[in-house]
Amino acid sequence: MSGTSYDPAAFHQFEHEGWERLSDGYHRHWEALTTQAVPRMLAGTEVAKGMRVLDVACGPGYVSGAAAAWGAATVGVDFSQNMVALAQNNFSELDFQTADAEDLPFPDGSFDVVLINFGVLHFPTPEKALAEAFRVLKADGKLALTNWAKSDTSAITIAMKAIIKEGALDIGLPEGTPLYRFADPDECESVLGEVGFSDIVCSELELTWRLPESDTLMDTFSQATARMSGLLRAQDPDRLPVISAAMEEGCAPYHQCGVRVLPMPALLTIATKV
Ligand SMILES: C[S@@+](CC[C@H](N)C(=O)[O-])C[C@H]1O[C@@H](n2cnc3c(N)ncnc32)[C@H](O)[C@@H]1O
């Protein structure tokens, strides 16, 4: 699976426009979810005081913030200026820069650890970004990346089932990297091995999304994620209330004391530049 059957430039533009628009909504709705993966990433890459850590696709800066709290010297990069501004606002003492994951502005061998939390599924050519991560790592440096796992009960599946049932999928959005490509351990091993990484280890993460009753699942996707927001914006507006109702119906089994506790399993992959 090389992921080259689509136009990378069109997907890049689509993702960039989406993330520039959605930075605040992402921070509001997704912080409590994606941050759950971070301690496992830091532990798995053995982040320690004084190490140089690169946070690729840093978004609002959560990974940088956590790595700095572990004593690392961090740099966060994201291709969205609005995300970089948000990260800088969240962690004013840390270093954030606007840069593309597929063309990193750092010399070879500059970092001990590279961390990509839920970024790789958004890159038009993930092989390029992973080759860049390999290049900027020192010998023995470690990479960690996360990707949503494919599961019948995940909030992503609940949302997609509602769109398939009540809306439309063939609405001309640019195709891109398959959402679950890096949820497949064989694919992770193959791509990372090809780039030059060794000791590739995948583990499952059982993340859960605690959605307050006041937030619809539709809001959390349409205000916060490039691909799902693009898909929802392209629906017939008259269908949106029905799609939202179908999403809420899908969430019904997960109500607990005023919140919906939705499964959001993920795959964590760790690799070493030997
Ligand atoms: C799902 S968010 C993840 C944010 C953050 N890492 C976290 O832990 O929540 C994906 C991020 O990837 C960024 N991104 C997408 N494509 C990128 C690229 N080609 N280069 C750099 N950043 C990119 C987006 O702007 C967005 O901030």
CATH code, 35: 3.40.50.150
Q: Does ligand 1 come within 6 angstroms of the Cβ of 23?
A: no
Answer yes or no: is 22 within a domain: yes
Ligand 1 atom closest to the CA of 124, numbered from 1: 19
In the predicted model, what is the mean pLDDT of residues 189-215? Answer: 96
178 close to 3: Cβ distance less than 8 angstroms: yes
Predicted confidence (pLDDT) per residue in 241-274, tens digit: 999 999 999 999 999 998 999 999 999 999 999 9
Euclidean distance between CA atoms 180 and 219, whole angstroms: 22
* 92 belongs to a structural domain: yes
How many distinct structural domains can be found in the chain? 1
Q: Is 19 in the pocket of ligand 1 (CB under 6 A)?
A: yes
Ligand 1 centroid–CA 78 distance in Å is 6
Give pLDDT, residue 4.
64
Q: How many Å lie between the centroid of ligand 1 and the Cα of residue 232?
A: 20
Give the residues across from 271 on adjacent strands. Answer: 143
**Given this model, what pLDDT does residue 5 score?**
86
Q: 91 CA to middle of ligand 1, Å?
A: 17
2 has pLDDT over 60: no
**Is 203 domain-assigned?**
yes
Residue 257 is assigned to a structural domain of this protein: no
User: 15 C-alpha to center of ligand 1: Å?
Assistant: 9
Q: What are phi and psi of 237, to 5 degrees?
A: -55, -30
- pLDDT mean over 121-135: 98
Joined together, the tokens standing for residue 184 give 């497949």
Q: How far is CA 230 from CA 45, 137, 180, in A?
A: 34, 34, 18
145 within ligand 1 shell (Cβ under 6 A):
no
In this structure, is residue 235 part of a structural domain? no
For 173, how many CA atoms within 13 A lie in the half-sphere containing its CB?
A: 21
Query: How far apart are the C-alpha atoms of 22 and 92, rounded to whole Å?
Result: 21
Q: Rounded CA gap, 166 and 238, in Å?
A: 11
> Which residue range is the domain that position 74 belongs to?
8-150+176-208+264-272
CA of 61 from ligand 1 middle (Å) equals 10
Which atom of ligand 1 lies nearest, measured to the CA of 102? Answer: 19
Residue 3 has pLDDT above 50, yes or no: no
Q: Reply yes or no on whether the pLDDT at 23 is more than 90.
A: yes
What is the residue whose two structure tokens read 């996707």?
221
Does ligand 1 have an atom closer than 6 angstroms to the CB of 62? yes
Inter-residue long-range contacts of 86-95, CB under 8 Å, 24+ positions, other chains counted: 86/23, 86/24, 86/27, 86/59, 86/60, 86/61, 87/58, 87/59, 87/60, 87/61, 88/61, 90/27, 90/60, 90/61, 90/65, 91/61, 91/64, 91/65, 93/68, 94/61, 94/64, 94/65, 94/68
Is 51 part of a structural domain of the chain?
yes
Please indicate, yes or no, if residue 240 is contained in any of the structural domains: no
Q: What is the pLDDT of residues 139-179, one digit of tens each?
A: 999 999 999 999 999 999 999 999 999 999 999 899 999 99
Ligand 1 site, residue 221, Cβ cutoff 6 A: no
**What value does the mean pLDDT take over residues 42-47?**
98
Report the separation in Å between the CA atom of 238 and the middle of ligand 1, taken as the mean of its atom positions: 31
Q: Is the beta carbon of 18 within 6 A of some atom in ligand 1?
A: no
Environment class of 2 (CB within 10 Å of its CB; exposed 0-12, middle 13-18, buried 19+)? exposed
60 C-alpha vs ligand 1 centroid, how far in Å? Answer: 9
Ligand 1 contact, 79 CB (< 6 A): yes
In a domain, 143, yes or no: yes
- Measured from the Cβ of residue 103, the count of other Cβ atoms closer than 10 Å reads 10
For residue 58, how far is its CA from the centre of ligand 1 (angstroms)?
A: 6
Is the CB–ligand 1 distance for residue 113 below 6 Å?
no
Give, using CA atoms, the residue closest to atom 10 of ligand 1. 119
Average pLDDT over residues 43-59: 98
